[in-house]
Amino acid sequence: MKDVHRIQTGVRIEQRTLKVLKALAEYLDLSLGDLLEGIVLHAFEAKLPFSQETLRQITRLKKVYGLDLCAEDAHRLKEAPDAE
């Protein structure tokens, strides 16, 4: 294990995406921060962060929380007029 220094940050994220991430972290018995770190570190090395079973769980969670966004939507999202 490597020692790291973590900082608290306030990041804005689409609400359904956050719900799926939180539920996935719970499913994997990880903190949300650990899940996000893992996803990012895998992405930095162009590696897939999830097993096939975890991908199936993500698909189920996306349905539960009505998350219809996909990779093509990244960087093309704007705030809804009533969002706050």
Q: State residue 42's pLDDT score.
A: 98
Classified as helix, coil or strand, 29 is coil
- Mean pLDDT over residues 15-35, rounded? 98
User: Can you list the positions of beta strands (E) in 1-84?
Assistant: none
Instruction: Give the pTM.
Output: 0.90
Rounded distance, CA 11 to CA 66, Å?
21
Dump pLDDT digits (tens) for 37-71: 999 999 999 999 999 999 999 999 999 999 999 99
Which of 81, 82, 79 is closest to 12 using CA atoms?
79
Rounded distance, CA 39 to CA 48, Å?
8
